[in-house]
Structure 1
């Protein structure tokens, strides 16, 4: 373990410095709505915007302040990654669906970038590219082949970076080469949410902050939503809760497992250090089960790094030290650098590990982003809204299929996650041992 400097100054997200999460003005509760949306993060607001512009009366209800969950806590990397690889997708769903899922990732990223431009969103978006490091030469070869296939199949600028050229992309000797995708970039997640909220409110979406939905039941051809502010009747309901699903939605809660993802931010680093460690200012990832994701801050003055946090209480010392040690393993020259912030948020994992839209008992769900919600949440929120509008062509998506399978013996408390994380850690240690032999 490295020396233990005082760990951090702040336990709130670094992103909140420039874009603090705030309540929205209280609005009267409508007695009837065309569409009620549960959740006012990226998904719910993108859906609400589409519905409001189509002339529907729509309100989004959030148990916290809008964006206070994952939408303002994530790494801001526009990866749109899907955890099961292409071969696993093909085996599980067939080649046609696997190809469609891969192709939709390209379209979803393009949609996001166009959306940011069209709506004039000031969210520090930069199309920087992403470097993904290989732990050993045994990983490098299949990663290089995958990059070549990606370029050939989808026309994405993707290529391998051999070990000898690695320092042109990242100032570390930890990896043995890697790959680059140039269709991935970074944004300021809290600013993006704030801009999405601004646009949605201007379009006529009513947003109720700190107003949890406590129950939903069918009422003839419509639904009654019981909220902390009263009861509202809605013709349609869209559920967009993801990693913050609670007991008001028992069907979804048994399928969405909230997993903590924690981030750290360094203190301000010199321009010389940043140029040496991140010469191309790319987003960064790596190829291990409990891998780190990291990036330069939008202003290029510090490094932000994130990874899994297997704790279930408020004692953050161990997960902070794990991230700090990971940072130093990558960049030994940062051993004495202090951290300015640490924070965590919930990502929603489930047994299929693929985002989706589905319908059950008349409720439509857009959820299950598994840590890649910056791209998938606005995309599937928009798709789901078009489904409610009956716009068949604009609702079409490869992610519209059955609900995720339920998790046995799970009722909302992820008691099993520490053991799962330990299993992944063992796999990573074995992979590192093999790669370094």
Structure 2
């Protein structure tokens, strides 16, 4: 009989070791070279880059720094691009598609070097990632992609046939898969806390609980009106992503906040962890609404995440759905309890590519589509270099804004229906895979 009792806590597992908290209150300066809205990975990395270049930087966040997706995510350095290479070519042309693929490798290398150079204590381990195939046809596709990555970008990437699968993950759910060794895992809340520490040490001023209500252009630059006063700034960078509100209406019509939920098991016996996750790799799967999962940094639990169709409150059904998925993967966990279940917003948009763009003088670094552990610091740093006028650092993600969504103004009323369609597509794919 499957264990169905609710998770013990509805706060992120990551907050146990690195709780988010308000910063000490300080007066709001009236002028700055740059105001950044959003104190997550992107905003803080941008602020650090700008401060070290001699700019005065103020970062404003309506919540506690990192309280959004930066401390709620799975901590997997995947740097996924949702579109296939063929889709990138069709939508954006071959030159940009090639540049996007190459920049993915550069972004991961940037993150790993950043962690090492700055001495960020965030439990980072370059474990590799196993990606499970749904059926033989999908396995063949993953094998070809792994070979292509190895040849084109020199990434240590290879196929794993079904007969060898349990050497990587202790389940028979998949029909083989692929491995990339340039992906690892970290503790996302510790990662954010360390970026905040380094940014503050570099002279970035960060305010928590400081909501921005409006941003207007004038002859001196911009007037940023916040709950604590008004700041005059030469430049403004918006990095709000899945928590964008009415202060950025242009962006709000282009980003769709989508709930993503993660569950964490209670501590498991060492022998069981060795059986289920023998290499302690990060894991994912090739479904439209596929799960992502990993061991906790101490190797004692399994954390599993996926999309959450709810839009308000904290209903039980999404946790039940994730728990069912966990037990389908690992029947051995049928009677294991959950210690945590929590959710946070990721930001999707029609292009499904991270983005840097300008509109009416404002600069935006946003739209990470559920892969912000890698993309948010990278895009934040590239946006900062853009503000500094460094043309050599121009990113392949720096081009037109994502298209606006008709009849949409921030409330994703259509997402539950979309998620049901995606689940149906996954069920059809699973049925075909088992024929």
Q: Normalised by the size of structure 2, how large is the TM-score?
A: 0.99
Task: Please state how far the C-alpha of 1:219 moved relative to its aligned partner.
Answer: 1.2
Query: Is contact 2:3–2:334 with CA below 8 Å preserved after alignment?
Result: no
Match of 2:195 in 1: 196
Equivalent runs, 1:110-129 vs 2, <5 Å: 110-129=109-128
CA shift digits 1:176-196 (9 cap, x unpaired): 000000000000000000000
Residues 174 and 329 in structure 1, CA contact (< 8 A), matched pair in contact too: yes
Deviation of the 1:84 alpha carbon = 0.5
Equivalent-residue separation in structure 2 for 1:156 and 1:162 (angstroms): 19
Aligned to 1:64: 63
The answer for the alignment partner of 1:421 in structure 2 is: 419
What SS does the aligned partner of 1:22 have? coil
Task: For residue 27 of structure 1, report the CA deviation from its aligned partner.
Answer: 1.8
Look up the match of 2:277: 278
CA root-mean-square deviation: 0.7
Farther off after superposition, 312-321 or 231-240? 312-321
Q: Does the residue aligned with 2:90 lie in a helix, a strand or coil?
A: helix
What does the per-residue CA deviation read over 1:152-172, in whole Å, with 9 as the maximum and x for residues that have no partner? 000000000000000100000
1:222 aligned partner: 221
1:337 aligns with 2:320: no
**Contact kept? 2:212, 2:226, Cα under 8 Å:** yes
| Equivalence for 2:137 | 138
* Residues 1:308 and 2:304 aligned together: no
Is the Cα contact below 8 Å between 1:27 and 1:206 reproduced in 2?
A: no
2:343 equivalent to 1:347: no
Match of 1:51 in 2: 50
Question: What residue number does 1:398 align with?
Answer: 396
Note the C-alpha offset of 1:4: 4.8
- Does the 8 A contact of 1:261 with 1:347 survive in 2? yes
CA deviation profile, 1:330-356 (whole Å, cap 9, x unmatched): 000100000000000000000010001
Deviation at 1:175, TM superposition (A): 0.2
Q: Is contact 1:9–1:340 with CA below 8 Å preserved after alignment?
A: yes
- Map residues 25-424 of structure 1 onto 2, 5 A cutoff: 25-394=24-393, 396-424=394-422
Tell me the secondary structure at the aligned position of residue 103 of structure 2. Answer: helix
Between the aligned partners of 1:161 and 1:285, the Cα distance in structure 2 is 14
Q: Unaligned stretches of 5+ in structure 2?
A: none
Given candidates 414, 427, 435, the residue that maps to 2:433 is 435
Structure 1 position 316, deviation (Å): 2.2
CA distance in 2, matches of 1:388, 1:408: 30
Write out per-residue CA displacement over residues 247-281 of structure 1, whole angstroms, 9 at most, x where no aligned residue: 11110000000000000000000110010000010
Cα deviation for residue 315 of structure 1 reads 3.9
Structure 1's consecutive aligned runs of 4 or more residues displaced over 2 angstroms after TM superposition are: 2-5
Give structure 1 stretches of 5+ with no counterpart.
Answer: none
Q: CA deviation at 1:392?
A: 1.6
How far does the alpha carbon of each residue in 1:272-295 deviate from its partner, in whole angstroms, 9 at most, with x for none?
Answer: 001000001000000001100000
Cα shift at 1:7: 1.4
Q: Please report how far the alpha carbon of residue 199 of structure 1 lies from its aligned counterpart in structure 2 after TM superposition.
A: 0.2
